[in-house]
Amino acid sequence: MSKPSHTLPAVADADIRLLRVFLTVVECGGFSAAEVELNISRAAISQHMADLERRLGLTLCRRGRGGFRLTEEGQLAHEAALRLLAGLESFRSEINAAHGRLRGELNIGITDNLVTMPRMRVTNALRGLKREAPEVRVNIRMIPPNEIERGVLDGRLHVGVVPDRRALPGLERVTLYEEESRLYCGRGHPLFDAPTGTVTREAVEAADAVAPTQAQPPHALTATATATDREGVAFLLLTGCYIGFLPVHYAAQWVERGTMRALLPDSHHYRVGFSAVTKKGVPPNLVLERFMTLLERPDEG
């Protein structure tokens, strides 16, 4: 049985607002998680979604015990909405470029806990942009690297800061800095009070370790726990029950307080580069271009 025909009227501002709600719900994975992001009630989100489904003449999602999931039509609508909103932002950027004005939005995705890096390239660039273009609205999202790269490619993000793990097609990279990580344990761990020089590789490899889910360090450890981000690793290390790798700049706050120590620092360490990524071939965007220029300036401190 074929569906009744439904022709979508001209897209209005109200439709754009509904589509933004829809994209947020999908990105958050459901109505409940989207409440915080949208700062509106679940009932209001449900009403907005119902209005959008009536407007489009499509069932976009299913909710139930199995959780939130998009229908086939919902997946198509999601992809079309991403293209539409990216096109609107591109249009606004091109018009602003015609006027030579730095206005609009700058959407940035950043890997977690980079703010303690001593080389504050991102912070300095944001400071410069605010001084030069006070009308620009900056939106920062702290999300995993793979989500940042997808966001840049599909137009939800203008720029992302990610580790140099692999070169994805369609992305341009600007090198920012390198980050050193070392192996740590927290106070209360059996290795914490071991005299310097007595910690062995065998003891480290036998200890319970927390492994990051995003990328595996180049050292053999017995992973009995995982964490999706650095803060999760730190939580587990501070229990005194695990060992694990953390960036030196991030762990410094606990090392200085005497609640963490590095283990085998001469051998158990590694470095990872970080870059700013943008989408290749995007139309001119004065805000993004200016931010990238500021990002490539030498460090102020």
The pLDDT > 70 percentage for the chain reads 88
Q: Which residue has the higher pLDDT, 301 or 148?
A: 148
pLDDT of 301 > 50? The answer is: no
In whole angstroms, what is the distance from residue 121 CA to residue 119 CA?
A: 6
- Listed in sequence order, the residues at least 6 apart from 43 whose beta carbon sits closer than 8 Å to its beta carbon are none
Domain 178-272 carries which CATH code? 3.40.190.10
Q: pTM to 2 decimals?
A: 0.63
Tokens of 117: 């890096």
Burial class (CB in 10 A: 0-12, 13-18, 19+), 116: middle
Q: CATH number for the 13-83 domain, one of 3.30.230.70, 1.10.10.10, 2.40.30.10, 1.10.3720.10?
A: 1.10.10.10
- For 162-172, write each residue's pLDDT tens digit: 988 776 788 99
Collapsing DSSP to helix, strand or coil, 282 comes out as coil
Q: What pLDDT score does 182 carry?
A: 95
> pLDDT value at position 67?
78
Can you tell me the distance from the alpha carbon of 242 to that of 192, in angstroms, rounded to the nearest whole number? 11
Residue 191: helix, strand or coil by DSSP? coil
**Which token pair is 29?**
């994975």
Rounded Cα gap, residues 37 and 143, in angstroms: 13
How far, in Å, CA of 154 to CA of 143, rounded?
Answer: 15
> For the ranges 11-15, 106-110, 196-200, 281-285, which has the lowest average pLDDT?
281-285
Which tens digit of pLDDT belongs to each residue from 72-97?
A: 998 998 988 888 887 777 676 666 65
> Looking at the predicted structure, is the pLDDT value of residue 2 above 60?
no
Could you tell me which residues come within 8 angstroms of residue 144 by beta carbon, excluding any fewer than 6 positions away? 111, 214, 228, 229
Q: Are the C-beta atoms of 32 and 94 separated by less than 8 Å?
A: no
Instruction: Evaluate whether 279 touches 171 at the Cβ level (below 8 Å).
Output: yes
Q: pLDDT category, 37, cuts 50, 70, 90?
A: confident
Reported as a single tens digit per residue, the pLDDT across 244-296 is: 999 999 999 999 999 999 999 999 999 988 899 999 887 768 889 899 999 88
Each domain of the chain, given as residue ranges in start order, spans 13-83, 178-272
* Topology alike, domains 13-83 and 178-272: no
